Structure 1
Amino acid sequence: MKPQLLLAFGAIALMGCQPAEQSAPQNTPEAAAFEQFFTALAQHCGKAYPGGLTLEPEGDEMLTGTELLIVHFRQCSNEQLKLPFHIEQEATQSWDRSRTWIISRHADGLELRHDHRKADGSDDTTTMYGGFTVGEGSDITQQFQSIPRTEESGYFRGWRIEIEPGVRYTYGTVRGDNWSWRIDFDLTQPLAELPPAPWGHD
């Protein structure tokens, strides 16, 4: 089933939580684009979805392109979403549960942080890096800038997240205007069995 899933994600590329303890934020007609985006993400709270690698730079060996990836919209409040990212380790028949995407809502935009943990739950050497939204974005797309990487390279470096509720969730890195690394999740196929908590989380 995984090969068909990855083919579907390839086609998408060419085209283009536990249940919340607090209710998901509701938009008003005057809601800013980033607030509409946040609400679109929150619609999937309590569910997990399968995904796969769509784009990876030459020489990048983080993923092989054949493993199953899972995003879990696990913890949600009016101000923050926590989305664990689970990676199947095919060689060892185990799972890497070290990563959680944290998206926080502020008065003037969103903040993305990457919570990385070791298997014992302690912080990884590199953790909680990320950035804030830049530009207005839209209700389906927001970009987050990595200031250190942008300053080092002289052109925009950061992350892009896209959400088509009930269709697709996409996360990746961008260089300039283009994706440099990208993974897609199929929101039409919620998993019947939710993954366990990521490392270091209850």
Structure 2
Amino acid sequence: MIGKHFILSASAVALTLAGCADAPSEPATAESESPQDEFWEALSSHCGNAYAGSLVSDDEADADFADADMVMHVRECSDNRIAIPFHVKTGDEWDRSRTWLITRSDTGLRLKHDHRHKDGERDAVTMYGGDTAQEGTARAQDFPIDAESIALFQQEGLTASVTNVWSVEVDPVEARDGIFAYQLRRTVAGGAPEPRFFRVEFDVTNAVDAPPSAWGHE
């Protein structure tokens, strides 16, 4: 009886295993997007739109920006590059010299500042910025200064800027109370001789008319 029971049990196990082998496998779970992919999608959702904003920080160095009209324009978008001109009106004149360039790199995302003169010529201090060192979040990415920019600032005597960290925050186009923010920060703890904080915010729930092209990008 014991032998017969063992044989039946073994047969049952074999049938069970055979059934498992014949059962269809579960579909593989798709790999979730990274925070940087989600950030890129959120920023890209604004492509073609322009938004008004203002200075929200209060460093004395930015007194000329305190009451200035500001418009950012998500003007160019591709799979690997987003160009965002930043227009500032001080007095009666619009300064269209600045364009923020965010691109994909081999290790993450990169922010560069394209500065031009009114005739389109590049400024002596241009194409500086940094690369992401961490994943960040779907809403915010930090860009610590890169070695190329440190060398440029040192060459131009801008040694206070060699510890810069830039940040960009963005909510997707459908978000309630959404903003786009650009920020520069340096701290004494990070090696700066004195702290520096610059931040502008834009209301991305209310698009405005697109401005003219930034200088040098006509």
The TM-score by the shorter chain falls in which range? 0.7 to 0.9
Residue type of the alignment partner of 1:134: A
Higher-helix-fraction structure: 2
Residue type of the alignment partner of 1:168: I
Q: 1:156: Cα distance to partner?
A: 5.6
Q: 1:34: Cα distance to partner?
A: 1.1
- Secondary structure (helix, strand or coil) at the match of 1:134 reads coil
Of 52, 58, 66, the match for 1:56: 58
Greater Cα radius of gyration, structure 1 or 2: 2
1:189 aligns to 2:190 (yes or no): no
Aligned CA RMSD, in angstroms, stands at 2.2
Residue of structure 2 in register with 1:39 after alignment: 41
Q: TM-score, normalised by structure 2?
A: 0.71
1:80-126 C-alpha deviation (Å, 9 max, x unpaired):
00000000122xx1200000000001243000000000000000110
Q: Whole-Å Cα distance in 2 between the matches of residues 62 and 101 of structure 1?
A: 22
Q: 1:136: Cα distance to partner?
A: 1.5
Q: Whole-Å Cα distance in 1 between the matches of residues 182 and 31 of structure 2?
A: 27
Unaligned 5+ runs, structure 2: 1-29, 154-158
Q: Assess if the C-alpha contact under 8 Å between 1:172 and 1:179 holds in 2.
A: no
The share of aligned pairs that are identical, in percent, is 36
Q: Whole-Å Cα distance in 1 between the matches of residues 48 and 64 of structure 2?
A: 26
Residue of structure 2 in register with 1:108 after alignment: 107
- Secondary structure (helix, strand or coil) at the match of 1:44 reads coil
Residue type of the alignment partner of 1:140: R
Provide the aligned length of Structure 1 versus Structure 2.
168
- Secondary structure (helix, strand or coil) at the match of 1:40 reads helix
1:155-192 C-alpha deviation (Å, 9 max, x unpaired):
9631011112231000011225998110000001100x
Instruction: From the superposition, tell whether residues 67 and 133 of structure 1 become closer, same or farther in structure 2 (CA, over 3 Å).
Output: same
Q: TM-score, normalised by structure 1?
A: 0.76
Q: Whole-Å Cα distance in 2 between the matches of residues 98 and 156 of structure 1?
A: 23
Q: Whole-Å Cα distance in 2 between the matches of residues 189 and 138 of structure 1?
A: 24
Q: Assess if the C-alpha contact under 8 Å between 2:59 and 2:196 holds in 1.
A: no
Q: Mapping of 1:1-202 within 5 angstroms?
A: 30-58=32-60, 60-61=61-62, 63-90=64-91, 93-147=92-146, 148=150, 157-166=164-173, 167-176=178-187, 180-191=197-208, 193-202=209-218
